[in-house]
A and B are shown apart, each in its own frame.
Chain A
Amino acid sequence: MSEEIKVIVFKLGSEEYGIEVDKVQTIERMLPITRVPKTYAFVKGVINLRGVVIPVIDLRGRFGLEESEYSDQTRIIIVAVNDMEVGFIVDSANDVIDLQKDRIETPPEVVGGIKAKYLDGVAKIGDDRLLIMLNLSEVLNKNEIIQLESLEE
């Protein structure tokens, strides 16, 4: 029996993604966002989360997917990795599941338009549900972003 982890499940478009629960601080409904000028396009700005100013990024934008309108279902998932607190704007988040670690498989090169380096793996749950596990340190890796930016210029 392999180790079991709890995973927060959220959606971007039709895909389901997972983040280990111990990296997630809270899940919030949409909050007023203050735009921060002169930063990456996917950084939507900063929010006030109970007195702490936290930057929020649109996860679709971060992965180079087309951004969508925010709705009642839109959530901000606050994650904390390497001393950084960041909010992810996702289409919806409404599930917590237990997952056996050995169910996670190495991801194929591209999943749902997202490069493999952002992913820890893919887990099959139930009959036909695929859960894409995010590699948070890569998602929040700033070095790579800077390269990307400079290429665009």
Chain B
Amino acid sequence: MDMNQYLSMFIDESNDHLQSLNENMLLLEENPNDLSIVQVIFRSAHTLKGMAATMGFEDLAALTHQMENVLDLVRNEKLAMQDFIFDTLFKGLDALEAMVQDITEGGEGKADVTALLAALQAIVRGEDLSAKPSGNDASAGAASDTDANDSAGIQLDEFQYSVLSQSIADGHRVLYLDVHIHETCQLKAVRAYMVFDLLEKSGEVVKSEPSAQDIEQDNFDYSFSLYYITLKDPAELESQIMNVSEIEKVTVKELDEDTLKQMSQLGAASRESAATAEAPVTEGAVQHAADKEQTQKKAPAKTAAKTGGNTPNRTIRVDIERLDVLINLFSELLIDRVRLEQLASEVQNHALTETVEHMSRVSSDLQDIVMKLRMVPVDTVFSRFPRMVRDLAKSLDKKVDLVITGAETELDRTVIDEIGDPLVHLLRNAVDHGIEPIADRIAAGKPETGTVQLRAFHSGNHVFIEIEEDGRGIYRDKILKTALKKGVVTEEEAAGMSDEEVHQLLFAPGFSTAEKVSDVSGRGVGLDVVKAKITSLGGQVTIYSTPGKGTNFSVQLPLTLSIIAAMLVKMGSEKYAIPLSSIVETGIVRQEQIRKVHGNKMIEFRGMLIPLISLSRIFNIKDFDENEEAETEIIVIHKGERLAALAIDEFIGQNEIVLKGLGKYLPPIKGISGATILGDGQVALILDPNVFIK
């Protein structure tokens, strides 16, 4: 059977599944005990495997199959998700992506995945690979119930085990502590932190259960246990911990070589049994999920939607040029519609009039859809960032939270296609240069975890995308020093520069503030490329930064071809569109209400005197003059705080319009930001009210 005809379908669907896998894996990483997410992931992987096998992509199918095996265990609660499992699965996803990419480019999707397969198989066999040199020992979420058996111990990996046994051999004390916090305690994480703080003053915590991170985020019940190396007397330690208020009970057990061995094995055993039977585990899981739900309101909703529908945004891809042709053809159809309507009203044939009316309704619905076809939510770009930031933070050994807002904001497809790379660069910049290493953050009195905000929103005629972090901020002197060294500015120029101008220096070609080039952002392309790209899209980048507090890169993009809500107005025979975002309200003034101040017309609006601007005079409109009207319709517009009123002839109504440029031939015209094509095929100019308020 010839598979080629199915190939593009396969590629599209595979990409959708991979995207969904990535998203849900990230979600799962935040809620490791939410099995409903595992179900979604499992189903996606299963479908992908089936498709790959049908299409004859063996490696793809084999890898997916192994991943599916792991997920199957997780789904049936036979395996608890842990950091190293996540890492392995993410690596698997990367390999899958690479294979699908290869297939897209005409390859056969072959790749050497034996190492990955082996790793996955090892996980299925129950081997713990977390001791691998990844250096990550904080096991996430394997919530074993310490209440049930105090001496059960915690599962240790080889590395931790050898550290502990070595310490015993060296004559240090290795203690196993079990701490219970009073159940009435309001801020248990704080109490836990105080205990940790105390312990760390006179020794080292090797491993805790739940992990320190979970404890910090309040993801634990009222007790935790840990292995501790110290020289202190256990009894003294016990009394010190009991001195922390709201601690209910502490058991301190000194371990020798034998008990340590026993306990760590017991830990492993209890893990097994916990996985198969113990009810408290699931209970704990539910508790955790509920905790998370409060902090992460959006996430569960999203999973719910996904599990319910089981269809991740069904879309088809369309050649953008065909879309353009469609849109243009459609505007022609609209012109004919108006012509038909006129003819029908002249002919006065009942059947004809009815048909034309129906056609009008259908075509205005069609118009809505056609106009929206080119608009794509920025989510299509944003969705790949959480994974990127996660990997980046891991590789840099930083803790970073990426908070995305406004992902539903729509932008024109052509802009969406182009904006991805600059945003990747700015995000890398934020994580690499902005957010400090954990130690620096603690030293600066900031939370360990840095926050990167990725925001998109509409404002006026623009869409803003902002990347803001709470990192180290930009230091003016540092930039100027580099700029001087690189000869970007002279001493005299530097002295007179505003902060804003100094920040803009970052975008100068060949400029980089990174003291050492990291493999992450030192790729030979600097922010100058970002700026060039954004400028070529007709946008601009602004930097706001407070030294020590963080930096905000604000990308302003024009709504070229995008749809805005506008008020259509008439002035004489001419029609204009005024963006709703600039309009405060509409009203009517009588001639006698218009006053003159220094020869300028003013009207009173809510106790303020605001200027009345004569568009007919500015635009030299021949068949309308508000001075001849007893009553004039006005539109009150604003630019920031300041207000003004535009005198117009007649309101046509509110409408969604598609912004179009006036072509390259005409010079920029003050007060006009573009044009739009109305339903009847006529062109109406779009006013730029900002210009009228000085």
Does B663 lie within 8 Å of A39, measured CB to CB?
no
Inter-chain contacts of A18 with B (CB < 8 A):
none
Dominant SS among interface residues on chain B: mixed
Q: Which of A35, A36, A51 is in CB contact (< 8 Å) with B662?
A: A36
Does B685 lie within 8 Å of A38, measured CB to CB?
no
Q: Is A46 an interface residue (CB 8 A)?
A: yes
Question: Known contacts A37-B621, A38-B619: does B675 contact A50 (CB below 8 Å)?
Answer: no
Q: How far is the CA of A39 from the CA of B619 in the complex (A)?
A: 10
* A-B contact list, 18 entries, CB within 8 Å: A36-B669, A37-B669, A37-B672, A39-B667, A43-B666, A45-B683, A46-B685, A47-B683, A50-B329, A51-B328, A51-B677, A52-B328, A52-B660, A53-B662, A83-B664, A86-B665, A140-B665, A142-B665
Place the interface of chain A in its size category.
Answer: 20 to 34
Known A83-B664, A85-B664; further 15 A-B contacts with Cβ < 8 A = A32-B681, A34-B574, A36-B662, A37-B669, A37-B672, A38-B618, A38-B669, A46-B663, A48-B331, A50-B329, A51-B327, A51-B677, A53-B677, A55-B665, A55-B666
Inter-chain contacts of B661 with A (CB < 8 A):
53
Shortest Cβ gap from A10 to chain B (Å): 19
Q: Is A54 an interface residue (CB 8 A)?
A: yes
Q: Is A84 an interface residue (CB 8 A)?
A: yes
Tell which of A32, A43, A48 has the most Cβ of chain B within 10 Å. Answer: A48
Q: Which of A53, A57, A85, A142 is in CB contact (< 8 Å) with B675?
A: A53
B594-625 Cβ-contact flags toward A at 8 Å (1 or 0): 00000000000000000000000011110000
B653-674 interface with A by 8 A CB criterion: 660-667, 669-672
Shortest Cβ gap from A70 to chain B (Å): 17
Inter-chain contacts of A53 with B (CB < 8 A):
660-663, 675, 677, 683
Q: How far is the CA of A55 from the CA of B681 in the complex (A)?
A: 15
Does B683 lie within 8 Å of A46, measured CB to CB?
yes
Query: Of all chain A residues, which has the CB nearest B620?
Result: A37
Which residue numbers of B lie inside 8 Å of A, CB to CB? 324, 327-332, 335, 574-575, 618-621, 660-667, 669-672, 675, 677, 681-685
Q: Which of B618, B677, B685 is in CB contact (< 8 Å) with A36?
A: B685
Inter-chain contacts of A43 with B (CB < 8 A):
666
Query: Of all chain A residues, which has the CB nearest B619?
Result: A37
Q: Which of B331, B618, B669 is in CB contact (< 8 Å) with A50?
A: B331
Does B662 lie within 8 Å of A46, measured CB to CB?
yes
Inter-chain contacts of B666 with A (CB < 8 A):
36, 39, 43, 55
Q: How far is the CA of A53 from the CA of B685 in the complex (A)?
A: 10
Q: How far is the CA of A50 from the CA of B332 in the complex (A)?
A: 6
Q: Which of B324, B671, B682, B684 is in CB contact (< 8 Å) with A38?
A: B671
Number of A-B contacts (CB under 8 A): 86
Does A84 lie within 8 Å of B663, measured CB to CB?
yes
Does B662 lie within 8 Å of A34, measured CB to CB?
no
Does B667 lie within 8 Å of A86, measured CB to CB?
no
A74-89 interface with B by 8 A CB criterion: 83-86
Shortest Cβ gap from B115 to chain A (Å): 52
Q: How far is the CA of A43 from the CA of B672 in the complex (A)?
A: 15
Shortest Cβ gap from A145 to chain B (Å): 9
Does B662 lie within 8 Å of A55, measured CB to CB?
yes
A47-99 interface with B by 8 A CB criterion: 47-48, 50-55, 57, 83-86
Does B683 lie within 8 Å of A86, measured CB to CB?
no
| A-B complex: 8 closest residue pairs judged by Cβ atoms | A51-B328, A37-B619, A34-B683, A51-B331, A50-B328, A84-B664, A53-B675, A84-B665
Shortest Cβ gap from B329 to chain A (Å): 7
Q: Which of B671, B675, B682 is in CB contact (< 8 Å) with A32?
A: B682
Inter-chain contacts of B671 with A (CB < 8 A):
38
Shortest Cβ gap from B132 to chain A (Å): 57
Inter-chain contacts of A142 with B (CB < 8 A):
665, 667
Does A48 lie within 8 Å of B683, measured CB to CB?
yes
Shortest Cβ gap from B610 to chain A (Å): 23
A98-137 Cβ-contact flags toward B at 8 Å (1 or 0): 0000000000000000000000000000000000000000
Question: Known contacts A36-B672, A48-B677, A51-B327: does B663 contact A85 (CB below 8 Å)?
Answer: yes
Shortest Cβ gap from A4 to chain B (Å): 30
Shortest Cβ gap from A43 to chain B (Å): 7
Shortest Cβ gap from A36 to chain B (Å): 7
Q: Which of A35, A38, A50, A55 is in CB contact (< 8 Å) with B663?
A: A55
Does B669 lie within 8 Å of A86, measured CB to CB?
no
Inter-chain contacts of B667 with A (CB < 8 A):
39, 142, 146
Question: Known contacts A55-B663, A84-B664, A85-B665: does B328 contact A38 (CB below 8 Å)?
Answer: no
